[in-house]
Structure formats: C-alpha cells, structure tokens
Amino acid sequence: MTEFPFSDLPAIEPGHVWLAGAGPGDPGLLTLLAAKALGEADVIVHDALVNEECLKLARPGAALEYAGKRGGKPSAKQRDISLRLVELAKSGLKVLRLKGGDPFVFGRGGEEALTLVEHGVPFRIVPGITAGIGGLAYAGIPVTHREINHAVTFLTGHDSSGLVPDRIDWEAIAKGSPVIVMYMAMKHIGRISAQLIAGGRSASEPVAFVCDAATATQKVLETTLGEAERAVAASGFEPPAIVVVGEVVRLRPSLDWLGALSGRKLVGDPFAGDNRKDTA
C-alpha cells in the first residue's frame, strides 16, 4: 500500500472510535483524515448514504458493518448502533464510524458520541462536507451569494417520529431566513411549503430538489414553493434529496458547472442590473 502523505496526521488507536463524515457522495470529497482512517480501521461501521467507492479505501481484512437508517425501511435502532460502537471499541479494535455528509449535521453523531462518553470510550470527530453545502454546490446552487442573502437556515423535514417537526417556528423562518436548506424534507414538502407560504413566503419563490447529490445519478428539479408538491409527484424523484428555497436557485442556469461539462451552455448573471449590489 502506498504510504499515506501528511505523515503527521493522527492515527486511529486501538479501542478508539472515529466519527467521520464521508461527504455528500463523490469520493473525491472525502477529507484527507477520513481517507487515512479508512486505510487504518479494523472495522468500519457505515451508513446507507456512504458511496461504496469510499469503502474501497478500506485496508485489506477490515470488517465492513452496515448500519444504515432509511425512512420507511427496516433499520437498526440508533441506540443499538451506538452500543455496537462501544462493544467494538471495548474489544480493542480501531473503529471508524463513517457517515454520509457530516456527522454533526443531522447525522446523529452527537448521540453516538454521547454514548461513547457514557461508556468511557475515547473518540475523535472528523468533519465532512454536508450535503446542504456540497450537494447544492454540485447542482450549481450556492447557499450564500452576497447580492441575495447574508443568512441561511438549515433544518430537517422530519423528526424522530417521521413527522414534520412541531418545534420549528415556521413563521419565524419564513420571515427571517432568505435561504432555507432542508434535509429529509421531500416526503413532507406539501405541508412544509404550506407552512412557509402561510408564514409570508411567496408561492412563486424558487425551489430546487437535488436527488443523489454529488453522484453519477444526481438529478435536479427546479420549481416554485407553490408548485413543489405537485412537481415532485410528477417527477418521480425519490429521496435522498436536499431541498433549497430561495433566490439562490435562480443562479443555477449560470453556475451549473457540472451540466456545463456535459454541454450545457451557461448564461450570464441573472441579477446583473439589479439594485442590490453589496460593495462590502
């Protein structure tokens, strides 16, 4: 095996757990530290959204354990996954818990880390590129653009019960956040759209759904808040998806760099001439 560069990077120690993010899909978005961990771990406990190409970096003989949780499908219970990490670490193994995106952004990494603390297991967090940033970038949609927004809200479209979270102040978000990025929201987009419109958002506001973000099967649906539910149903698109609401969606015809590689002709700045230039 080729010697890994950056030899001063930390190494997984026996009895330790690393909670690492694999990014939104493209294996090239792995961090150096996550890639190094893949080549060192004795066992890799991975999620459903981790690209299988990433797992090819595992060292020969490493055990791969699937611990994916997908809505509406049989899945391991979170407490059982957390306790499995404890069990593996207590047996003296080098454990890598590999998650899609970032472990601390709607990834249950905090829950698993707290269980490790509870049982005295040392751990390290290896952040990854979350889909709400990297997945949208692969669709040519920036989460911030200084001519449009100086704030962005990230939220989840369902809670542990599988329903739209009732603790979210939808009216406050509708009024206060120019760009809203939603994880796990496709299933409930009708109710969410209605809440945002009731809170003051325009039904004509641009919305984009990015399915299988940063993978070879990535698909993007552009619609409006008022038409979102109908458009998703007609598209046949399925989760996993990241959803973004806001004027930044209008930048996609100009910034769809991935589409341009396949021949799409990009257009000029859609906001050129607007009186909203930020000189700061």
Q: What was the pLDDT predicted at 228?
A: 98
Residue 69 has pLDDT above 90, yes or no: no
Helix axes 78-90, 109-118, angle to 10 degrees: 50
Residue 159 CA to residue 10 CA, distance in Å, equals 35
Q: Does this model's pTM top 0.85? A: yes
The pLDDT confidence band at residue 115, using thresholds 50, 70 and 90, is: very high
Output the CA torsion sign for 65, 67, 72, 77: positive
193-242 pLDDT, tens digit each: 999 999 999 999 999 999 999 999 999 999 999 999 999 999 999 999 99
Kindly indicate the confidence band of residue 280, based on its pLDDT and cuts at 50, 70 and 90. Answer: very low
User: Token pair of 27, please?
Assistant: 């294996």
Eight-class DSSP state of 251: G
Q: Domain 17-129 belongs to what architecture?
A: 3-Layer(aba) Sandwich (3.40)
Q: What is the CA radius of gyration of the chain?
A: 20
Residue 99, sorted as left (phi over 0), alpha (psi -120 to 50) or beta, turns out to be: beta
Average pLDDT, the chain: 93
- Which residues of the chain does CATH 3.40.1010.10 include? 17-129
Outline which parts of the chain fall under CATH 3.30.950.10: 132-262
Architecture, CATH, for domain 132-262? 2-Layer Sandwich (3.30)
**Catalytic residue ranges:** 47, 69, 184
Residue 68 banded pLDDT, cuts 50, 70, 90: confident
